[in-house]
Structure 1
Amino acid sequence: MPVEARLQELLDQLNALDLPPLFGGDPQTAREQYRQAALANPEPDKIPPVTSVQESEVAGPAGPIRIRVYDDHPGADLPIVVFFHGGGWVVGDLDTHDKHARRLVRDVGARVISVDYRRAPEHPFPAAYDDCWAVTEYVLAHPGEFHATSISVAGDSAGGNLAAAVAITARDHGYDLAAQLLIYPATDMLTAYPSREENARGYRLEAQDMDDATASYAQGADLRDPRISPIFAKRHDHLAPAIIGVAGYDPLRDDGAAYAAKLQQAGTKVTLHNYPTLIHGFYGFYPISADSDSAVTELNADLRAVLETR
């Protein structure tokens, strides 16, 4: 199946600009370009309103970590979703992924905590992981403070990588994580899966971008460390139920599918969706793309269904 027409129009526009590699140059310039693209939304009415959006902080290993709490029912007991934004560990922030958090609130009926973790290259591995785990552990250890009926993690791309790594750490520390929503996650930084070559150029995220992002984040660290490549964890059993969404025209497609297979083989409950007409980043394209909107609806519904069975 071809790329959805609306997304192909977007790709044609991006490819015509002949932009430099996203993660290969000055990080501040890359962040500003990414922010401008992410916040240029032609359909603002399609982003759900949320009753309360509050900034706060959680103590972290290198100082306070900023969080943003999205809440449609302040004070009510609700599921908590701790969300980690994507952007190759280099770009992306709370604002670029504001629409992601709002959609989770509406569709899942959850209180969402979005995490402003430290980014590479200024803060290489394990900084992003450490911050994401610090916030998650704090929420897990203080559920009453957040009126939590359950606690899950979610993230897209690099955020999916962080969510998968945090889910493994939560199990190893004896915490009962309710679910993990992994949206086109990066889980294996070593294996050259077929989708990497098939979708190496022309589909927004390119193979060179993946190499640059990994180099910027890892900076010589062992790529088999499960905090970087969760697929290399010693165990994948007894993890939180996983919902994994991948896109047909994404270099990371087979990466996410391989992780789903690894979880399934270990006996962890997993639901995998492969959306053949979509590209990397589709979770943020729901305001302009009907196929993306349908995919987001399905993934969020699956997460809600898992939480409702607890």
Structure 2
Amino acid sequence: MSLRQTLSGTGVALVTPFRSNMEVDLDALGRIIDHVIDGGVEYVVTLGTTGETPTLSKEEKIAVIRYTYEKVNNRVPVVVGVGGNDTYSLVKELETLPLDKATAILSASPYYNKPSQEGIYQHYKMLAAATPKPILLYNVPGRSGRNMTAETTLRLAKDFTQIAGIKEASGDMAQCMQILRDRPEDFLVVSGDDALVLPQIACGMDGVISVAANALPKVFTTMVRESLQYNFKAAKTLNDQLIQAYDLMFAENNPAGVKAFMAELGLLENYLRMPMLPLSEVLHNQVKTYLKK
């Protein structure tokens, strides 16, 4: 089965819960994993940017990966986020992280140093040579500072069998449609924008790696499935219910928004690692009002 078949539908970019002393809360992580799997997600993604990964130590990353494998217990596939802006360090990380049980690796395009398109290509070329696991590219210019063009994505897709898909979060619908038109048949293309999932699936995307599904997995995964079955009227009805939630989740920063929802649902304590702060009181009250509806 190709990765495009295995990872179709809704993946969830898991948050990393913390206790008041800022230690990783594995008990809460277990509750969250059960919550999203029971809610219908097709797979989980650990150590993405939603997981506040830049603030985690190497030891914490290993502990989170191992706990995730154990708690998921083969119920759904696990994708592991391995990204960074130092290519050589990232190659070493791929060799030392426990990736044996991972279905794939999600690797964000290098952030901050803003490489050229050729630099992005050579970065992923080195990663593809360093790992036996399939790689999902992650284009997120809002965080990385540099868009990965459709031409670069398609070049990587066609040149390296190890590069098996992309999470596209540019928000550029024309770019997404170009990738979808010209991709290899088995190349997975999923959305990285919860608010754009419905129209992007209409254009041909295979699903999404979602933030919102941490908190609201049942309604979100149902919306995605209806979209994938081209039942867009039913999908729109569900998506209309979620629009305000998307706005609140991303109003200040991610994952402060979704953690506010999850705290109200009793899934975790509402702590983030600096420099991220919990959602402001005004917006948090709007989250409470939304959930009561």
TM-score (norm 1): 0.36
Q: Which is strand-richer, 1 or 2?
A: 1
